[in-house]
């Protein structure tokens, strides 16, 4: 296997024309909306049917030890708190409105909590532990272990007044023009998700106030903690460099990578980097066929935002992270069936 820097850069220089030709040869397939809607309805039924038993199983496998007995005893059990957050997230209610709904539920169950109590669920250690346990449980239920994956980043607004896409574009424009950036309160957060292409379930997600790369690192850590073996991975060109490949190899060992080389790419780097470049120049269109499976990540983000919205509605970093994780749980519940 021989590949040199000049060969790689020559192919990259022609890539726009090759991609154009590839897309003409692979037109987008039209969706059968009737069968699509039927599948959506069936998956949602499965998700709601499995929700309570799965949460109960996730809670039952944990032994909570309470060393501090002072303070007000929680009105809701851990299981009820987790279910309350998940239901709140899917129906898109604010903390205050969800508290008001508890007042309605109290007619049947004598439950009465304030909106501040609901807000605290997002930073409740017991709730967070159960959510992570539920995430692992969902992956095991689906039998996910060896993964051909893809990864992509998006963003979520923190205010109803600000849409991520428009705010992010304005920020990019300021960076390009060299305008000074004012130190204002952040209006959105970065989110990154690693997707199993076969099951369309997320194996790891992360958030960051600083950068997409930091959110990506959190997603990688979650996937590794879950014991997932990533055998192949497709990522945005932003991650197409030797240092990121080295980190992926350190986390997952031997894996096939599908990255689009940058114009200044060199063959220097780890074996997986060289192997990837060889596949790239040997058969570009076949390589693109594998790489463009990453589009599933983008379609999953669109699906998530239609289901649970494009804003997270929390202010504290830890609570924002929990809100994003709730989106992950609902996504995986949806694809469980």
| DSSP code, position 250 | H
What's the predicted TM-score (pTM) here?
Answer: 0.85
Q: What's the burial of 44, exposed, middle or buried (CB within 10 Å: 0-12/13-18/19+)?
A: middle
pLDDT at 315: 83
pLDDT at 169: 56
The rounded distance, in Å, linking the Cα atoms of 103 and 336 is: 32
pLDDT at 66: 66
Both structure tokens of 276: 């990837």
The rounded distance, in Å, linking the Cα atoms of 228 and 204 is: 9
Secondary element (H or E) of residue 152: strand 146-157
Q: Which residues of the chain have pLDDT under 70?
A: 1, 33, 66-73, 93-113, 159-186
DSSP per-residue codes, 94-107: -HHHHHHHHHHHHH
Interstrand relation of 229-234 and 201-208 (parallel, antiparallel or unpaired): unpaired
Both structure tokens of 152: 């992509």
Find how far residue 327's CA is from the centre of its chain: 8
pLDDT at 107: 42
| DSSP code, position 203 | E
CA distances from 187 to 155, 166, 176 (A): 10, 11, 19
């Amino acid at each position: 296997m021989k590949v040199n820097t000049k060969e790689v850069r020559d192919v990259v220089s022609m890539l726009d024309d090759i991609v154009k030709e590839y897309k003409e040869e692979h037109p987008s397939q039209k969706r059968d909306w009737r069968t699509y809607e039927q599948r959506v309805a069936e998956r949602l039924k499965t998700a709601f049917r499995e929700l309570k038993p799965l949460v109960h199983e996730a809670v039952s496998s944990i032994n909570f030890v309470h060393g501090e007995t002072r303070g007000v005893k929680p009105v809701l059990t851990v299981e009820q708190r987790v279910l309350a957050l998940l239901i709140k997230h899917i129906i898109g209610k604010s903390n205050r409105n969800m508290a008001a709904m508890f007042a309605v539920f109290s007619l049947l169950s004598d439950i009465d909590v304030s909106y501040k109590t609901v807000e605290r669920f997002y930073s409740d250690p017991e709730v967070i532990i159960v959510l992570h346990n539920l995430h692992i449980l969902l992956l095991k239920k689906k039998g996910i272990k060896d993964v051909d994956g893809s990864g992509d980043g998006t963003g979520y607004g923190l205010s109803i007044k600000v849409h991520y896409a428009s705010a992010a574009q304005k920020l990019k424009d300021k960076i390009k023009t060299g305008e000074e950036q004012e130190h204002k309160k952040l209006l959105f957060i970065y989110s990154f998700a690693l997707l199993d292409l076969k099951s369309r379930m997320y194996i790891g997600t992360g958030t960051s106030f600083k950068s997409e790369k930091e959110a990506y690192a959190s997603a990688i850590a979650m996937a590794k903690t879950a014991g997932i073996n990533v055998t192949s991975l497709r990522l945005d060109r932003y991650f197409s460099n030797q240092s990121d490949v080295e980190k992926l190899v350190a986390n997952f060992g031997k894996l096939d990578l599908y990255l689009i080389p940058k114009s200044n790419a060199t063959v220097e780097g780890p074996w997986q980097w060289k192997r990837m470049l060889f596949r790239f120049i040997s058969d570009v269109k076949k390589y693109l066929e594998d790489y463009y499976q990453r589009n599933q990540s983008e379609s999953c983000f669109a699906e998530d935002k239609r289901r649970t919205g494009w804003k997270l509605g929390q202010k504290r970093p830890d609570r924002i992270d929990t809100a994003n994780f709730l989106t992950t749980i609902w996504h995986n519940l949806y694809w469980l069936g």
